[in-house]
Chain A
Amino acid sequence: MSDIITNILVCGTGGQGVMTAAEILAQTAITKGFDCKKSEVAGMAQRGGVVTSHVRFGKRVWSPVITPGTADILVAFEVAEGSRWADMLRPGGIAMVNTIRLVPPIVSIGLFKYPDDPVAQMRAAGVTVYDFDAGALARDLGDLKLINTIMLGAIADFLPFPATELEEQIVGRFRERKPAMVEANRRAFEAGRAAARARAGQDQPLAATL
């Protein structure tokens, strides 16, 4: 095993499933024999606030937090949250962004403004962004709860273990408790992978590889 540490920052808003996604990534990493730490600050964030989860894995992980400027992958469940944490990426890191816009009350009443195009903002600053509407994909698959699996599928080809390992970790959770959801999650995972590949093929020739 190399000494390289993989840093993944998952972000979104309270109730979106950020912590579950991070948990699945961390579980996959320890199944593969990596040392792993996963860190988040919950508390008041669960009330609709900003949520981030840091996942770090490798041969030996010391600090549980990702140092700004060293994240390999930013997984954003919400587009403005993606821009909020974009500075955490290392040069050449990638941002996988769900384009949903969740407008909080203080924006909707006019105290603050939601940025017109957070993805364009990030790209203008040189960030490699793969953006797609995970909500629309989930709706097509018939269940909005699949967003989580779609987002994990989208980063699956950028990880230091085969995509199937991550898929198995997700599907394994449903096999015993909700076998009916196994197929739906497999399709969602593949849809996420396909969406990321499609974005990489379109307008981002500089796609980063880890």
Chain B
Amino acid sequence: MSAAVQAKPQSRLLLSGNDAIARGAWEAGVKIATAYPGTPSTEMLESLSLYPDLYAEWSVNEKVALEVAIGGSMSGARSFCAMKHVGLNVASDAFMTVTVAGVVGGLVIAVADDVGMSSSQNEQDSRFWGRFAHVPVLEPADSQEAYEMVKYAFELSETYNTPVILRLTTRVCHVKAVVQVGERSPIEITGFKSDSSRWVMTPGNAKGRLPAQIAREGKLRTLAESSPLNFLDPGSDRRVGFVASGPSYMHVRESFPDAPVLKLGFTYPVPVALVEQLAAQVDHVVVVEETEPLMEHDLKAAGLGQIHGKDLLPRLGELTPNILIPAIKGFLGDPIPPTTTYPKFEPFPRPPTMCAACPHMGIYYSLARMRKKVQISGDIGCYTLGAGHPWNALDTTISMGASMGIALGMDKARSEETKDKAVVAVIGDSTFLHMGMQGLLDIVYNRGNVTVLLLDNRTTGMTGGQNHAGTGKGLRGDDTPRVDFAKLVEALGVPSERIRKIDPYQLPVVFKTIKQETETPGVSVIITDQPCVLSEFYVKIKPYKVIDDDCTGCGNCINVGCPAITVRKSETKTRPDGKINELKFTTIDTAMCTGCHMCVESCGPKAIVQIQRAAATPGEQI
């Protein structure tokens, strides 16, 4: 990452799409850069924050991030805003009106779609926003294009007075490829100039601007037809001509080196005439786009015949060569080559787990103990893993901050069967500040019976540990005011005696507190206060071990879910009453163990003891 920051103009570097975009945005003279972390977009701002001469922030959510960027653009600063696909749903309210108001400084919104769903709750196609908001969409296929397109996007934005969407996918953001970089062109900020007809979007003012928005789309349509981002790779096998955008283009070139390919980088408005020219040269046109058939539908609506797309190719996931080759060869009636020589061995699955000593485990260990008496509404973060083994203690996950609204809905919609169940919402610190607060306010306002577990681990964990308003540090690691969660929830109206701060490592306290609060009607908030084990705030202590002779094989410690605890030996024992007991004798990986002592609390026979060491090593608490 730092290599790109220090790289001299014309250097040839191996850069991820995210790092290439950061470099391109910096060279384009970006002054304001904002984001909320989200895979696969996170590294764009992390990388950009390392460059000099610009303002960069982690915003509390994507809507605020876009609003800050809009304010920058209105003031004449080139402004950049990055988010994952679902982030633009959050930011869409601001987005759908800034498209009417327009820009002064170039405004580029980089949206990263998680095609293939490596770390997301859905697989949506952000290109829809281009049509919806009448703004241009650019789609790079690799790092070099991402770097060039972000620079061009600022010019396009300023020339056509429009925000620009840079649509990325995981295979652009996280693929490293060779990029030749250039140098920064400093651009001065003009400063905000008051113009109410322009910036005050009352119905009267906005109505006046709508025709310009539509006219702009027409001009962009013409521009797309002649854009150098759209070009034809000629080919000798003219049975099929491909129209491809994003990484699909790379997969098509890999799979069909002899076919003509119309490569589209400027994909909305769709350059229909270019496709018509291709169609005139080939027997069939196949549109290869991830994930929705947007270009295909536009082309069909424009009256082009012999257009294929999703009739041959899947609508979900990546369109990699192993998908493309059989689909297209099958369509042409060509023999389909065998794919693999060796068999696919499918050993056990290896799902992601919580880290050794993760403070979330104490909460889920306790919730699992009272599983039959609670409905558990979850949220988005590492703690979503509570739905997995061994806890199985999460019932819902929908969207950022949704745990509390959903919990209130469950509370208000009880059946005879669920009327006595407690309703619990589980949410992390970063997610709570992102979109969670309003849900809690709604529970208070509408007198819900919900116990909220606010797991404050002082980081945005799942995306790799980013700062937020509750960590006391900014994007560049600088000190900032830190939110006091207890005061915040009290200000929202949670009674002070129903706000409980607990140490999630103290299992009996955790269990007792959740039990008390769920058995008392009304709203309550339980706040945990142990930092993420991967964060700078976490302090390791001496590891523990199991004394083999004292271990009875009860398996309680396994239910904590710590990956440092594994089964050393299994036995089956028949009890006098004929019942069969599965005994599991455990051991602790002392290299992984950080001494959190959660498992000690779960162990009846006290077989888990701390290892005595002669001297502590640096970084350890003595």
A125 within 8 A of B: yes
Candidates A42, A48, A64, A86; contact of B250 at CB < 8 Å: A64
| CB of A94, distance to nearest CB on chain B (Å) | 12
Residues from chain B with a CB closer than 8 A to the CB of A125 are 342-343, 345
User: Which of A22-30, A146-154, A187-195 is the contact stretch?
Assistant: A22-30
Within 8 A of A (CB), among B235-266: 247, 250-251, 253-255
Known: A23-B176, A27-B14, A68-B322. A39 touches B339 (CB 8 A): no
Chain B residues with CB under 8 Å of A115's CB are 345, 347
Bound CA span A63–B570, Å: 47
Smallest CB separation, B250 vs chain A (Å) = 5
A161 within 8 A of B: no
Residues of B within 8 A of A37 (CB): 142, 175-177
* B12 close to A67 (CB less than 8 A): no
The docked-state distance in angstroms from the alpha carbon of A105 to that of B561 is 8
Known contacts A37-B176, A46-B464; is-contact A64 B348 (Cβ 8 Å): no
Name the residue of chain B whose CB is nearest to the CB of A33.
B12
Given A47-B354, A50-B350, decide whether A38 and B14 contact each other with a Cβ distance below 8 A.
yes
A13 touches B350 (CB 8 A): yes
Known: A83-B347, A110-B584. A104 touches B353 (CB 8 A): yes
Among A61, A84, A106, A121, contact of B351 (Cβ-Cβ < 8 Å): A106
Residues of A within 8 A of B250 (CB): 62-64
Residues of chain B in range 573-618 having any CB-CB distance to chain A below 8 Å: 582, 584
Which size class do B's interface residues fall under? Answer: 35 or more
Q: Nearest residue in A to B582 (C-beta to C-beta)? A: A110
Residues of B within 8 A of A62 (CB): 250-251, 253-254
B4 adjacent to chain A (CB < 8 Å)? no
What is the chain B residue whose CB lies nearest that of A80?
B347
Within the complex, the shortest CB–CB distance from B541 to chain A, in Å, comes to 21
Are the C-beta atoms of B348 and A113 separated by less than 8 Å?
Answer: yes
CB closest chain-A residue, reference B40: A43
Contact B352 A49 (CB under 8 A): yes
| B610 nearest CB across to chain A (Å) | 22
One of A63, A89, A105, A107 near B342 (C-beta < 8 A)? A89
* Stretch with Cβ within 8 A of A (4 or more), from B307-315, B382-390, B496-504, B520-528: B382-390
Q: Which residues 11-41 of B have a CB within 8 angstroms of A?
A: 12, 14, 39-40
Please tell me if the beta carbons of A68 and B171 are within 8 angstroms of each other in the complex: no
Interface centre among A27, A35, A107, A109 (most CB of B within 10 A): A109
Asked whether any CB of chain A lies closer than 8 Å to the CB of B371, the reply is no
Question: Is B349 part of the contact surface with A, judged by Cβ < 8 Å?
Answer: yes
Which residues of chain A from 1 to 56 have a CB within 8 Å of any chain B CB?
A: 13-14, 23, 26-27, 30, 35-50
| Distance in Å: Cβ of B553 to nearest Cβ of chain A | 12
Contact present for A68 and B142 (CB under 8 Å): no
Residue ID in chain A nearest B385 by CB atoms: A47
Please indicate the chain B residues that have their CB under 8 angstroms from the CB of A44 in the complex.
118-119, 352, 462
The answer to the question of B355 belonging to the interface, with a C-beta cut-off of 8 Å to chain A, is: yes
A149 CB to nearest B CB, Å: 19
Name which residue of chain B comes closest to A45, CB basis: B352
Q: With contacts A30-B178, A39-B174, A40-B174 known, is A63 near B563, CB below 8 A?
A: no
- Cβ of B116 under 8 Å from chain A: yes
Residues of B within 8 A of A (CB): 12, 14, 39-40, 114, 116, 118-119, 142, 170-171, 174-178, 247, 250-251, 253-255, 318, 320-322, 325, 338-355, 382, 385, 389-390, 462, 464, 555, 558, 561, 563, 565-567, 570, 582, 584
- The 10 residue pairs across chains A and B that have the minimum distance between CB atoms: A43-B119, A112-B348, A47-B352, A69-B340, A63-B254, A49-B352, A62-B254, A108-B566, A43-B118, A83-B345
Residues on A lying within 8 angstroms of B by beta carbon are 13-14, 23, 26-27, 30, 35-50, 61-65, 67-69, 80-81, 83-84, 86-91, 103-115, 118, 121-122, 125-127
Additional A-B contacts beyond A23-B176, A83-B345 (4; CB < 8 A)? A47-B355, A115-B347, A122-B345, A126-B341
8 contacts between A and B (CB under 8 A): A37-B175, A38-B175, A47-B355, A63-B254, A64-B175, A69-B339, A84-B346, A109-B584
